[in-house]
Amino acid sequence: MTSSSPRPPSPLAPEIAARLKRSADGLLPAIAQQYDTGEVLMLGWMDDEALHRTLTTGRCTYWSRSRREYWVKGDTSGHFQWVKSVALDCDADTVLVKVDQVGAACHTGARTCFDADVLLAHGGDGAGADTPAADQ
């Protein structure tokens, strides 16, 4: 993913690639969500190639920023993510992948990456009420 090691262009469909708003390092955040319950499972990163592989193989492929390589969820853990649908958000800068998660989604062995460090458990008591939606 660095300019010193360029990769050949991805076979991602040009009409999709043209719409994407990537970070400076060419990545998009990819949210994995359980397709039938809506449970948010994890966040990974995709470049054009990872998105292409996800769209064409039916399995989630991510780019590891630390290892600097592609990884397919489940190849080493057995905790597969079978793709049900893929959508872009309204700004085309985030991907939502609805999956059928088999086993744990988190590398810690937890079902989801978002259940261990809860910062606010029950909103609705007026917290954040002064923050206009337009400030997003």
Alpha carbons 52 and 11: distance in angstroms, whole number: 7
User: Annotated binding residue at 47?
Assistant: no
Alpha carbons 46 and 22: distance in angstroms, whole number: 9
User: Annotated binding residue at 60?
Assistant: no
User: Annotated binding residue at 93?
Assistant: yes
Q: Is 30 exposed, middle or buried (0-12, 13-18, 19+ CB in 10 A)?
A: buried
User: Annotated binding residue at 115?
Assistant: no
CA atoms within 13 A on the CB side of 119: 2
Q: Could you tell me the two tokens for 25? A: 């390092």
User: Annotated binding residue at 89?
Assistant: yes
**What residue numbers does the annotated binding site for Mg(2+) cover?**
89, 91, 93
**What residue numbers does the annotated binding site for Zn(2+) cover?**
90, 106, 113
**What residue numbers does the annotated binding site cover?**
89-91, 93, 106, 113
